Structure 1
Amino acid sequence: MPILNIHLVRGQHAADRVENLLLRCSEAFAAGLRCPLDRVRVFVTEHEPHLMCVGGQLVRDAGVNAPYFSFIVLEGRSLEDRQQLLAAFTDLIVELLDVPRELVRGGIVPVAPADWSIGGQPASSLRQAEIEARRLAAGNS
């Protein structure tokens, strides 16, 4: 279920660096959520420089390199897990794309298990045991 989408400007980064970012973020996501790698989805969405604005200026004109990412996780993931992922994805973008840390932005989109499907079935049914274990662990913290 974990899904990460990283928004970049087309042409600002070499393809091999972007590919490495996809692979490393996939590994970090699985490790951070302690879930199988085959559940993870990571995408890069590239935007044309004339279709992205940073600080009130078109990237086409200013040339600013300011990636944004967002990721979806099921509700019930701990605040610590979510914040560690924010830091990990930021670190990877800074390291692999050579972007100044202060220009990277990221966010979390929590989704209720009943509102997410896996193969057409609600995650609330398919992942019921995992969701309950996380809920109990959070209650014991």
Structure 2
Amino acid sequence: MPVLNFHLVEGQHEAARIETLLLKASALFAEVLACPIDRVRVFATEHAPQRACIGGKMASQGAPVAPYFSFIVLEGRSQEDRQRLLSGFTDLVVDILGAPRANVRGGIVPVAPSDWSIGGTLASELRQAEIEARRLAATTKTLEK
């Protein structure tokens, strides 16, 4: 379910650096949320310099590098996990893209499990089925001992 989008100004970052950012952000998302990496979606959306205004100055006129990111997570994630993601994604942008930390912005979009679908099935239903499967697996392991 986790979805992350980095908004970047076109031409300000090398393709290899953006690729590294996407890969490292995917790994961080999976690690912090303890979810399979195949559930993680990370995007970089590049905006034309003529379509980006930062601090009242057009990027086409030399506005400073100021990446923005936003990510979607299901409601119920701990404050600690959300803070680790905000800090971690900021660190990646600073370390990989060389953006000044003070210029990086990011935000969380929490979504109720009843308002998100995976393959057309509500996440609330899938989450309940997953919890039940884990419970049954744990019970089975206990009985086998």
Deviations 1:65-85 (A, max 9, x none): 000000000000001100110
Q: Does 1:58 align with 2:51?
A: no
> Which residue of structure 2 lines up, in the alignment, with residue 105 of structure 1?
105
Aligned residues: 132
For 2:4 and 2:128, locate their aligned partners in 1 and report how far apart those are by CA, in whole Å.
23
Within a 5 Å distance, the mapping from 1:83-98 to structure 2 comes to 83-98=83-98
Residue 23 of structure 1 corresponds to 23
Q: 54-63 or 110-119: which moved more?
A: 54-63
Distance 1:130 1:74, change over 3 A: farther
Residues 109, 130 of structure 1: alpha-carbon distance in 2 compared, 3 angstrom cutoff: farther
RMSD in angstroms over aligned alpha carbons? 1.3
Taking structure 2 as the reference length, the TM-score comes to: 0.88
Given that residues 76 and 131 in structure 1 are in contact (C-alpha distance below 8 angstroms), is that contact kept between their aligned partners in structure 2?
A: no
Q: Provide the rounded CA distance (Å) in 2 between the counterparts of 1:61 and 1:70.
A: 25
CA contact (8 A) 2:3 2:41 kept: yes
Q: Which moved more, 1:55-64 or 1:102-111?
A: 55-64
Task: Spell out the pairing of 1:1-16 with structure 2 (5 A cutoff).
Answer: 1-16=1-16
Identity %: 66
Q: Which stretches in structure 1 are left out of the alignment for 5+ residues?
A: 133-141
TM-score norm. by structure 1 comes to: 0.90
For residues 5-48 of structure 1, what are the alpha-carbon distances to aligned partners after superposition, in whole Å with 9 as ceiling and x for unaligned? Answer: 00000100000000000000000000010111000000000000
Change (3 A) 1:4 1:131: farther
Q: Which has the larger radius of gyration?
A: 2
Given the superposition, is the C-alpha separation of residues 42 and 118 from structure 1 closer, same or farther in structure 2, using an over 3 Å criterion? Answer: same
